[in-house]
C-alpha cells in the first residue's frame, strides 16, 4: 500500500533559557562537509499504557528538546557563508524545527523498513534554495501511525556534527526526556583541530605526506567523466548477515594473515573487503579498471593528545583505499582487507594535521564541498567504478529511549546514491549485521548473489 502522511503543524523550538550568543568558528573538517543534512529514523511501538497518549509523547519530546538545546545551543543557530566558500556558525538561538504528522498506515505496512519512497514522507524536508542563514541545523519529525506506533526522524547538519556528535546529542536528549541529567557535557573549542602554530606562536611547516583522499575518484575506462553513471537508475536493498556468516568471513581473512598485520582484521575491514570484491564482480569491470573504496575515519583517538569525550563537531574525514578490479577479484579476501588496513593505519596524528593544513591553505573551499542537491553533477560522485562504505557499528545510535522504551528499528532516512553502503548492527541476533545497499539497478541482483555465495570457509 502507498502511505499517506498528513502534516499537522511545524514548531520552531528554541532553547528553554538564554544561551551564549556569538560567532562560533568552524574547523577545516567542518568546512568541507556537505551543505546538507543526514537522517536517522527510529520506529517505536510504545507499551500499551502509552498507545493512546500520542499528545503526551509529543509534548515530552517538545519540552525536552527545549531543555537539551541549552547545552547544545549551536544546533539552534544558523550558518553564514564567508568569502572563499568558508562558513561560520552564528549562535543566535533561532531554533530548530519540530514537525508533527500522522498516518493512517500501520508499522507493519513498512515490512523490513527498507528505505523507499514512503520513507520520504516520514522525514522532515528542507528547501535548500532558501538562504543558508535561514536554514535550521536540526529538524525533527514525529509521525503517529494508526496502530499507535511512532516514527521519529532526526535530520542534523553535516557541517556542525559528525555521526558521533549526532549520537551524543540524541542520547543526551533521550536522557533529559526520561528525567535524567546529562551524562557528558558537549564542548565546542575547535582550536584542538587547528594547525600551523605551536604554543609559542611560531609557524610550523605541515608534514610532507601524500594525501590521496583529496584526489579525484577514478573514472570508468574509456569515459572522460561520470555524468552517464550519475544518471543510472538505482535500487535499494537491506542484506542481513548472521553472526555465523560474519565469523566465517573473519576466519577467512585472518587465516594465514600477513606477518606485518599481527592484529586480527576487524569486522569493518572484513565486511568492507567483501563488499568491495562483490561490487567489482557485479559490475563486470575490465581487470585493469582502477577502483577506490572510500570510508570515514574518526580522528578523535588518532590525535595526540586525543580529543576528550564531548567534543561536538566534525572530527572525521574521507579516506581511500585503491586497487584494480582484477587484483581484488582474483586475490584472497585477506589481501583486500590488507589494503583497507593499510589505508586506516596511515591515518596518524601527522596525517590528520597535514589534511587539516592542506584544507586551510585552499583559497576557495567550494571545490571541496558536496552540493546539497544529492543528484548534482558538480558534487563528488563515489559510484561506478568506486564505492563508499560507512560503518555505524560503533556509533551509539541504537536503544534510544525517551521514556516509552527502545525503538523496534533504527535505520537510514534516505539512501539513493549509487554504491553507497552502510553497515549497521543487526537487531535480530547479537553479532549479526545489516548492510544497507544502494547500487545501480543493473548490478544489484548480481551483487546480492555474489554477496551470499562468496561467504565460504
Fold held by 213-395+414-453? Chloramphenicol Acetyltransferase (3.30.559)
User: Is residue 136 reached through a cis peptide bond, with omega within 30 degrees of 0 on the bond before it?
Assistant: no
- Is the pLDDT assigned to residue 330 strictly greater than 90? yes
pTM for the whole structure: 0.92
- Is the pLDDT assigned to residue 381 strictly greater than 80? yes
pLDDT digits (tens, 9 = 90+) for 417-446: 899 999 999 988 889 999 999 999 999 999
Lowest-pLDDT choice from 84-98, 114-128, 285-299: 114-128
Confidence at residue 200, expressed as pLDDT on a 0 to 100 scale: 45
Confidence at residue 196, expressed as pLDDT on a 0 to 100 scale: 53
Residue 69, phi-psi category: left (phi > 0), alpha (psi -120 to 50), beta (remainder): alpha
Within 10 angstroms of residue 305's Cβ, the number of other Cβ atoms is 7
Beta-strand (E) ranges in 86-201? Answer: 87-91, 96-103, 138-144, 150-157
Confidence at residue 198, expressed as pLDDT on a 0 to 100 scale: 46
Question: Quick one: average pLDDT of 256-278?
Answer: 90
Q: What percent of the chain has pLDDT over 90?
A: 66
CATH number for region 5-193: 3.30.559.10
Residue 28: closest CA among 286, 243, 313, 247: 313
190 pLDDT band, cuts 50/70/90, is confident
429 CB contacts (<8 Å, ≥6 apart)?
Answer: 242, 243
- Is the pLDDT assigned to residue 414 strictly greater than 90? no
pLDDT digits (tens, 9 = 90+) for 234-261: 999 999 999 999 999 999 999 877 777 7
Domains 5-193 and 213-395+414-453 share a fold: yes
Question: Quick one: average pLDDT of 109-120?
Answer: 84
The residue with greater pLDDT, 312 or 147, is: 312
Confidence at residue 373, expressed as pLDDT on a 0 to 100 scale: 36
369 pLDDT band, cuts 50/70/90, is low
135 CB contacts (<8 Å, ≥6 apart)?
Answer: 78, 79, 126, 128
- Is the pLDDT assigned to residue 127 strictly greater than 60? yes
Task: Identify the residue whose cell numbers are 551524543.
Answer: 168
Confidence at residue 50, expressed as pLDDT on a 0 to 100 scale: 67
Q: Which active-site residues does the annotation give?
A: 158, 401
Between strands 138-144 and 96-103, the pairing is parallel
The alpha carbon dihedral of 308, 310, 312, 317 has a sign of positive
371 pLDDT band, cuts 50/70/90, is very low
State the Rg of the chain over Cα. Answer: 22
Distance (Å, whole) CA 47 – CA 139: 26
- Is the pLDDT assigned to residue 187 strictly greater than 90? yes
Confidence at residue 326, expressed as pLDDT on a 0 to 100 scale: 97
SS3 (DSSP) at 260: coil
Lowest-pLDDT choice from 95-104, 277-286, 367-376: 367-376
Between strands 433-440 and 87-91, the pairing is unpaired
Confidence at residue 159, expressed as pLDDT on a 0 to 100 scale: 92
- Is the pLDDT assigned to residue 301 strictly greater than 50? yes
Confidence at residue 444, expressed as pLDDT on a 0 to 100 scale: 97
Confidence at residue 199, expressed as pLDDT on a 0 to 100 scale: 44
Helix pair angle (333-345, 243-254), 10° resolution: 80
The domain limits of the chain are 5-193, 213-395+414-453
- Is the pLDDT assigned to residue 206 strictly greater than 60? no
Mean pLDDT of the chain: 89
Mark 410-442 as b/e (b = at least 16 C-beta within 10 Å): bbbbbbbbbbbbbbbbbbeeeebbbbbbbbbee
- Is the pLDDT assigned to residue 73 strictly greater than 90? yes
Amino acid at each position: 500500500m502507498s502511505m499517506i502522511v498528513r502534516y499537522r503543524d511545524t514548531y520552531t523550538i528554541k532553547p528553554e533559557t538564554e544561551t551564549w550568543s556569538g560567532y562560533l568558528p568552524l574547523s577545516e573538517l567542518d568546512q568541507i562537509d556537505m551543505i546538507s543534512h543526514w537522517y536517522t529514523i527510529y520506529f517505536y511501538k510504545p507499551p500499551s499504557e502509552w498507545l493512546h497518549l500520542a499528545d503526551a509523547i509529543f509534548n515530552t519530546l517538545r519540552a525536552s528538546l527545549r531543555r537539551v538545546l541549552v547545552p547544545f545551543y549551536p544546533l539552534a543557530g544558523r550558518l553564514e557563508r564567508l568569502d572563499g566558500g568558508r562558513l561560520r556558525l552564528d549562535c543566535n538561538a533561532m531554533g530548530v524545527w519540530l514537525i508533527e504528522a500522522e498516518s493512517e498506515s500501520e508499522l507493519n505496512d513498512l515490512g523490513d523498513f527498507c528505505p523507499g519512497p514512503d520513507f520520504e514522507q516520514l522525514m522532515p524536508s528542507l528547501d535548500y534554495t532558501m538562504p543558508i542563514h535561514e536554514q535550521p541545523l536540526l529538524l525533527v519529525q514525529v509521525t503517529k501511525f494508526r496502530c499507535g506506533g511512532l516514527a521519529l526522524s532526526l535530520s542534523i547538519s553535516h557541517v556542525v556534527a559528525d555521526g558521533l556528535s549526532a549520537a551524543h546529542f540524541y542520547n543526551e536528549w533521550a536522557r533529559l526526556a526520561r528525567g535524567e541529567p546529562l551524562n557528558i557535557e558537549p564542548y565546542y573549542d575547535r582550536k584542538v583541530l587547528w594547525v600551523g602554530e605551536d604554543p609559542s606562536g611560531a609557524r610550523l611547516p605541515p608534514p610532507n605526506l601524500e594525501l590521496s583522499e583529496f584526489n579525484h575518484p577514478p573514472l570508468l575506462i574509456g569515459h572522460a567523466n561520470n555524468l552517464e553513471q550519475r544518471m543510472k537508475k538505482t535500487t535499494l536493498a537491506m542484506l542481513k548477515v548472521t553472526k555465523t556468516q560474519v565469523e566465517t568471513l573473519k576466519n577467512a581473512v585472518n587465516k594465514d594473515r600477513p606477518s606485518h598485520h599481527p592484529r586480527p582484521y576487524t569486522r569493518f575491514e572484513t565486511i568492507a573487503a567483501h563488499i568491495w570484491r562483490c561490487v567489482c564482480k557485479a559490475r563486470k569491470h575490465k581487470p585493469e579498471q582502477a577502483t577506490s573504496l572510500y570510508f570515514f575515519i574518526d580522528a578523535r583517538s588518532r590525535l595526540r593528545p586525543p580529543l576528550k569525550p564531548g567534543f561536538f563537531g566534525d572530527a572525521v574525514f574521507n579516506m581511500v583505499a585503491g586497487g584494480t578490479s582484477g587484483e581484488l577479484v582474483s586475490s584472497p579476501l585477506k589481501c583486500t582487507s590488507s589494503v583497507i588496513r593499510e589505508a586506516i593505519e596511515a591515518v596518524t596524528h601527522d596525517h590528520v594535521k597535514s589534511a587539516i593544513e592542506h584544507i586551510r591553505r585552499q583559497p576557495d573551499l567550494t571545490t571541496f564541498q558536496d552540493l546539497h542537491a544529492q543528484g548534482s553533477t558538480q558534487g563528488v560522485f563515489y559510484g561506478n567504478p568506486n564505492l563508499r562504505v560507512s560503518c555505524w557499528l560503533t556509533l551509539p545510535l541504537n536503544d534510544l529511549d525517551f521514556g516509552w522504551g527502545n525503538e523496534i528499528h533504527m535505520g537510514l532516512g534516505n539512501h539513493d546514491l549509487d554504491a553507497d553502503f552502510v553497515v549497521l548492527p543487526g537487531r535480530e541476533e547479537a553479532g549479526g549485521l545489516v548492510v544497507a545497499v544502494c547500487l545501480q539497478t543493473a548490478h544489484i541482483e548480481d551483487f546480492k548473489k555474489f554477496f551470499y555465495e562468496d561467504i565460504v570457509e
